Amino acid sequence: MPAPDVATLNQVTRPSVTDDGQHAPALRFGDARVMALMAAIAGFCHLIAGFDNRALVQRMRALLDTGYTARQATYDLRRLRRKHVICRIPGSHRYQTTSSGRAVTVLFTKAYGRILGPGLTTLDSRLPDDIAKRSPLAAAWRNLTRELDRFISDGLAPA
């Protein structure tokens, strides 16, 4: 499975219009519901018979702290179809992940779960100093913050 290209990521993460003129809302990277949705869809990739609205509702309720309804699932399924992340299995109310959809969902979930989430935790200013000192990323971030603060205060001080 090749990684998604920039055009595919732009098409998924920004509002767009389908070939038949229908509005396709953005799937914003980092949004809690979208990230849970991507994780749910990635979990359905192995299903030969696909998945349905009910299965999506059950998976999303397990992933989100807030409630998730069949109506929300219907809206999300429409968004995913219009973004070509999933496709409907002909003659049914079941869906399968497309090959590009598989790549997008895996990228979203891995980038968020393995890079962004842990990285932001490391950069948290409330991280105790003894732990931050063991992380080159935390030390570099704190040094950058200190230097930017110094630059701003030196540059804005009256002469």
Residue 15, pLDDT above cutoff 90: yes
Phi, psi of 25 (to 5 degrees): -60, 155
Residue 29, judged by CB atoms within 10 A of its CB (0-12, 13-18, 19+), counts as middle
Q: Quote the pLDDT of residue 46.
A: 86
| Residue 5, phi-psi category: left (phi > 0), alpha (psi -120 to 50), beta (remainder) | beta
The mean predicted confidence, pLDDT, of the chain is 89
- The structural domains of the chain, with segments of one domain joined by +, span 6-116, 124-156
Handedness of CA 37, 40, 42, 47 (dihedral sign): negative
pLDDT tens digit string along 64-119?
988 999 999 999 999 999 999 999 999 999 999 999 999 999 989 998 888 888 88
Query: In the chain, what percentage of residues exceed pLDDT 70?
Result: 96
Q: What's the chain's Rg over C-alpha atoms?
A: 21
Residue type, 140: A
Residue 157, pLDDT above cutoff 70: no
6-116 domain in CATH 1.10.10.10? yes
Higher-pLDDT residue of 118 and 28 is 28
